[in-house]
A and B are shown apart, each in its own frame.
Chain A
């Protein structure tokens, strides 16, 4: 039995994903049950601070690989480095992100390992790890276990596991591991942030809008917009402004249903659901969303769901803890105002 549970610290340009600490905390709990240690793996160009933060969050030690070729995440050299450092791993824990999905996939090929992405629960039974993850968009759950002595790579769904407090008094050894990286032709040229800044999976509060956001016939579009579809989109954008305002008051992010995205009311980056992002915030406010099964699949594990909808029979109310039957265009701004008064913001 390997003596280490490996945990990967995912970061974007040196900033750790909050879910990375959830992974460290979870690796700690599992390692304690197995009588093993937690070894954090950090890859990048200058990542010693992240390694120390991993130890503060519960890792016993950290291995880091620093190389200019690792300055930007690219799956090939990252997998080279990780597979080398974790060559004898039996259990690897990662947060779930676009990056780790690729990294886990490639490392699994290198280590002949199994992968369980988007895991929502872990149990240790007779020294074996059982990871639970949703399939069929959350309509079902499956437990996953490694076959024989195959290693298992688990990526944890954001916010499904508790985040440990950092304890700066914790100490542990940080080891720099030299790794030969193979050349790769992939080159990161840059980012356009136009659609960034929508970190739905980490958000504690999400306010989402659906098809109903455009349904405000009293609102007169500017004279320049004569096309019916453009008028509809213009109305929807005014509606999403109300949703953004509410999200800002609650310190949350803006989500949307597929219907709203397909109707070009808002970009795909905001989409929650089976073909968008799966989220688990503390509070989910659904405005003008009827609650198609594909949307519910993406937000059903939210702790508290509030639904605002004109139709009292909308399926979203079956999942909601609190429901308001009414027009979102009047309810949402009034709710925003009431919250500002209550919260003194």
Chain B
């Protein structure tokens, strides 16, 4: 099984994110692998452990965006590739998917491509499906469990987490999967893994290394990024001599304020 995992470098979710001169800033907060992508890496590694093969981590970002790939290597990925080119700055998911699909093609023989459910920064959750569409491969999104994987028949059966319940779907690979956190518990990088990752040479592919039919363009722009208006909520604390008195007072206030 040749597996590719697409990872993104994002600010830590605990970061305080602000806008300065129209640009997003997360201060001194560390850049990390997008938390959802850790589940994708873990699932790829588990498949490799069961079926053999290689796991390659692929990321698109600026030249210094190596933390996500190093984390993936430290977890156990065999190889990592960074796609980086000034021409790719400011792309939307449509453009990113074009570049990533070209990256997948350049890697060559790939059975499965894994994504996290979404990235915690732009939070669109559509890039995996777009890469699948461009490659003409089945897209299996929001996967919570892989029920069956038969490399000889190139068959995969998964459970997807939908609002309406778990949906069981079968497909053939090559295929593109996006995973949710229920699928596994990502391993921590081992000491050896971290050492290996710190010494790893991560090749960089630029626009000229990829077979792009046309230069990727963003279909949207972001003319205004701003902090949400401050909600000035003054909490009204409900007092009472007993829990029952507090509860009754709360019910009364909610009815008075026409909340219920």
Contacts and interface: CB of A to CB of B under 8 A. Distances in A.
B36 interface: yes
A101 interface: yes
Interface stretch (A27-35, A60-68, A230-238, A336-344): A336-344
Contacts of B233: 305, 318-321
Contact of B219 (A12, A146, A185): A146
B123 A134 contact: yes
Nearest to B170: A187
Contact of A338 (B161, B225, B247): B247
Given A145-B223, A186-B170, A196 B123 contact: no
Nearest to A109: B133
Given A135-B123, A191-B164, A112 B219 contact: yes
Given A106-B139, A322-B236, A152 B220 contact: yes
Contact of B13 (A12, A274, A283): A274
A188 interface: yes
Interface stretch (A45-53, A206-214, A323-331): A323-331
A2 interface: no
Contacts, number: 267
Contact of A319 (B141, B231, B246, B259): B231
Nearest to B180: A268
B165 A196 contact: yes
A193 to B, nearest CB: 4
A245 interface: no
A303 B180 CA distance: 28
Majority DSSP secondary structure for residues of A touching B: mixed
B93 to A, nearest CB: 6
A189 B168 contact: yes
A185 B231 CA distance: 49
Nearest to B167: A191
A284 to B, nearest CB: 11
A98 B170 contact: no
A205 B219 CA distance: 37
Given A115-B92, A198-B163, 20 more contacts: A104-B126, A106-B129, A106-B130, A106-B132, A109-B94, A114-B94, A115-B126, A136-B24, A139-B227, A144-B220, A144-B222, A147-B217, A150-B220, A191-B166, A196-B162, A250-B260, A283-B254, A293-B14, A300-B231, A339-B251
Interface of A: 12, 75-76, 79, 97-99, 101-102, 104-106, 108-110, 112-118, 130, 134-147, 150-152, 184-201, 205, 250, 268-269, 274-275, 282-283, 293-294, 300, 303-307, 312, 317-327, 330-331, 334-335, 337-339, 341-343
25 contacts: A98-B141, A102-B129, A102-B139, A115-B92, A118-B123, A135-B24, A135-B225, A136-B24, A136-B121, A139-B228, A140-B19, A140-B24, A140-B227, A143-B223, A150-B219, A185-B172, A187-B169, A189-B168, A192-B168, A195-B161, A196-B163, A250-B260, A304-B254, A304-B259, A335-B250
